[in-house]
Amino acid sequence: MWFEEIHDDFFKQGLRVEEKLVEVESEYQKIEVYRSREFGKLLVIDGHGMLCERDEFIYHEMMAHVPICTHRDPKRVLIIGGGDGGVAKEVLRHGDIEVDMVEIDREVVRISQEYFPEIGDWENPRLNLTIGDGIEFVKRADSGSYDIVLVDSTDPEGPAEGLFNREFYAHVFRILKDDGMVVAQGESWWIDMPLHKEIMGVIGQFFKIVMPYRFEMYSYPGCNWNFILGSKRYHPTADIILQRADLIDGLRYYNSDIHKASFILPNYVKKELGQLYKW
């Protein structure tokens, strides 16, 4: 049996899976967990692979530590989505940071706790989990209340649709402090450059610095994937204090060299992005 992820009817990637461990139709989406032959267990939402045990550390470390090591002194981080707990666990490695996480689907949290218990850090007292809509949460949050916002959402369909537009980012900008920054899932240059450019453009309407950074995700279609960092003040390659990146315990992917290298863009990407790239 294969788990196949089809993107826009032109690209397909597959993983050999041995059994389906669970399938739940929640209020918001269909959630499945498979056991794959070589990549460990795999979490799938509405047919899209969210994470698998073999390479989840790459995504989660890169989403969390790049902005944290760019910022001078982050204390409050908001995660939108992220119901598998992986990004929160990485943020919580920094002992002085408090995390608010807003995940819309209780079932994603429950299934992740049951099938991927080692990926989260659910009992950590510095994690404050709200089950609710991230769009409504940012509307109600106080201005200037967060240092970093991480948007770890599903693709722009269903409940995540409103996490990609101007209104959402206007609130993200508002609730960040004057030196705050946001990181969002930036999709793939190779598989969906139009969507990548759209997110760059929306974030660029508010933030002074907007830069994508890359990582490889072997279980995602096309393997080449990006996050997009929008920053009000700090520059992710000029202002990073490199030693901090190498002092975090237990990391398997991220380090100071990866940090710098991940911001280097190939020529075809620079050309495509043009003025959307604000550095």
Cβ proximity to ligand SAM: between 77 and 102 the closer is 102
Cβ proximity to ligand SAM: between 87 and 176 the closer is 87
Cβ proximity to ligand SAM: between 137 and 234 the closer is 137
Task: Please tell me the distance from the alpha carbon of residue 75 to that of residue 95, in angstroms, as a whole number.
Answer: 9
- How many residues bind ligand SAM (CB under 6 A)? The answer is 24
SS3 assignment for 63-87:
HHHHHHHHCCCCCEEEEEECCCCHH
Task: Please tell me the distance from the alpha carbon of residue 183 to that of residue 43, in angstroms, as a whole number.
Answer: 22
Residue 106: its H or E element: helix 106-115
Cβ proximity to ligand SAM: between 44 and 273 the closer is 44
- The contacts of residue 259 (CB under 8 Å, 6+ apart) are 65, 66, 69, 236, 237, 240, 242, 245
The reply on whether position 159 binds ligand SAM by CB under 6 A is yes
SS3 of residue 260 by DSSP: helix
Among 3, 17, 66, 83, binds ligand SAM (CB under 6 A): 83
Cβ proximity to ligand SAM: between 24 and 233 the closer is 24
Among 3, 39, 57, 59, binds ligand SAM (CB under 6 A): 59
Among 81, 212, 221, 230, binds ligand SAM (CB under 6 A): 81
Minimum separation from the CB atom of position 168 to ligand SAM (A): 9
Minimum separation from the CB atom of position 223 to ligand SAM (A): 14
Edge-to-edge order in the sheet of strand 224-231? 127-131, 98-103, 76-81, 146-152, 176-185, 224-231, 209-216
Minimum separation from the CB atom of position 133 to ligand SAM (A): 5
Residues acting as catalytic residues: 152
- Answer yes or no: are the C-beta atoms of 5 and 191 closer than 8 Å: no
Which range touches ligand SAM (CB under 6 A), out of 3-11, 89-97, 132-140, 264-272? 132-140
The reply on whether position 50 binds ligand SAM by CB under 6 A is yes
Task: Please tell me the distance from the alpha carbon of residue 7 to that of residue 5, in angstroms, as a whole number.
Answer: 6
Contacts with ligand SAM in 187-226 (CB under 6 A)?
Answer: none
The reply on whether position 15 binds ligand SAM by CB under 6 A is no
Q: Exposed e or buried b for every residue in 28-37, given b needs 16+ CB within 10 A?
A: bbebbbbebe
Backbone φ and ψ for 63, nearest 5 degrees, come out as -70, -35
Among 68, 91, 97, 102, binds ligand SAM (CB under 6 A): 102
Task: Report the residue closest to ligand SAM, judged by CB.
Answer: 81
- The contacts of residue 38 (CB under 8 Å, 6+ apart) are 15, 16, 54
The reply on whether position 163 binds ligand SAM by CB under 6 A is yes
DSSP codes joined into one string, 188-212: -HHHHHHHHHHHHHHHHTT-SEEEE
**Interaction site with ligand SAM (CB under 6 A):** 45, 50-51, 59, 80-84, 102-105, 108, 133-135, 152-154, 159-160, 163, 185
